[in-house]
Amino acid sequence: MNEPGDSAMNEEYRERIGKVIAYIEDNSSQPLRLDELAEISHFSKYHFTRIFTAVAGMTPMVFVTRKRIEQALVLLTGTNQTILEIAGKCGFESVSALGVQFKRHYGCTPGSVRNSGQKHSNFATAFSNKQADKTPMADYNRTERRNPLLRRAWDSMVEIRHIPEVEVAYIRHIGSYLDTYSAWDKLKRWAAQQGLHPANQQFIGISLDDTEFVQESVCRYDACVTLPGGFEREAHRKEAEFKTLSGGLYAVYSYYDTVDRFVLAYDSMFSVWLPRSGYEADDRPCLEYCLNDPAQDPEGKCRVELYIPIKQEA
């Protein structure tokens, strides 16, 4: 593994995301798709949003909207173009779409800016006050840069493993990732009937969609259980689905806390560890090896090994 430098972010990550940012700034008035932006960065489409957020401090589409709003403000205060014209030139589908985002960022409407005749500089403070709160990891990154002991402690919590491919049965959940319990309940009942217990099999969760690409209501999540050799799939096609999970190189982080905070494990891995690790995320889904039942835990916490698929940086 590469020895981490003074910067918490690997310089190559910054350069690659910088190309995306430059492209957004030059093309913010055009329709922009996340897969298009991911291709420019040469990062995996599956993990692009997390990497961009780690470097830029906001998601790609929030950044796109911010640039469009900034350009709208320039046009409102520096030209006589109509608000309808400005909306179109800044990539908004309608005046109302511009109005909603503009008010969210600046706390006022495009019409009030135009009518007041105020200049761009008068809104700088309002703009900063209206931005979303920075993620906790932004503060962590600053602390981590100042404290090499903390860097080494973080690295000691991540283990690099090479695992073989594995056959699984799974139940698919469609909807919010916070509501996957029904898929797990169904899978556990079926697994118990087949004699597939935690003592001899592994239970793995897979979040298949990025909520930046896909609406939360149609996100896919698979609750999986590994299968022993020779398991008769055909007899159970109506009860469960089956597939092979790819093996390969993974960075593994052990998590023990409440379910609702598990998302922070992802954020930590992608914003603190990965950019300076000497690896980049591979185009395979992350795997969540579930090691306990939170309902049976004395503190109501989940114990999970989070597997991030990785490869050596190009």
Residue 313 CA: distances (Å) to CA of 111, 122, 135, 274, 294:
48, 44, 26, 11, 36
Q: What's the pLDDT at 142?
A: 44
Q: What's the pLDDT at 312?
A: 83
Least confident of 271-275, 278-282, 308-312: 271-275
Residue 71 CA: distances (Å) to CA of 54, 74, 104:
24, 5, 15
Q: Three-state DSSP class for 304?
A: strand
Give the model confidence (pLDDT) of 198-224 as tens digits: 989 999 999 988 776 677 888 899 999
The token pair that represents 163 in the structure block: 């695992």
Share of the chain above pLDDT 70, in %: 84
Contact yes or no for 19/12 (Cβ under 8 A): no
Mean pLDDT of the chain: 83
Q: Three-state DSSP class for 102?
A: helix
Q: What's the pLDDT at 1?
A: 43
Top pLDDT among 72 and 4 is at 72
Cβ burial 225-238 (10 Å sphere, 16+ → b, else e): bbbeeeeeeeeeee
Q: What's the pLDDT at 117?
A: 57
Find the distance separating the first CA and the last CA of the chain, reported in whole Å. 14
Least confident of 4-18, 34-48, 111-125: 111-125
**CB under 8 A, 24+ apart: contacts of 127-136:** 130/104, 130/105, 130/106, 131/105, 132/58, 132/62, 134/57, 135/53, 135/57, 135/267, 135/271, 136/264, 136/267
Give the model confidence (pLDDT) of 121-148 as tens digits: 444 344 434 443 333 334 434 444 445 6
Q: How far apart are CA 270 and CA 222, in angstroms?
A: 22
Which ranges constitute the DSSP H helices of 28-146? 34-41, 48-56, 60-78, 83-89, 95-106, 110-116, 124-130, 136-146
- pTM of the entire predicted model: 0.67
Give 275's strand partners: none
Contact yes or no for 177/221 (Cβ under 8 A): yes
Q: What's the pLDDT at 48?
A: 87
Residues in the chain: 314
- CA nearest neighbour of 286 among 17, 12, 44, 8: 44
Q: Is 107 left (phi over 0), alpha (psi -120 to 50) or beta?
A: left
Top pLDDT among 225 and 103 is at 225
Kindly state the average pLDDT of the residues 226-251: 92
Q: How far apart are CA 33 and CA 46, in angstroms?
A: 13
Q: Is the pLDDT of residue 274 over 50?
A: yes
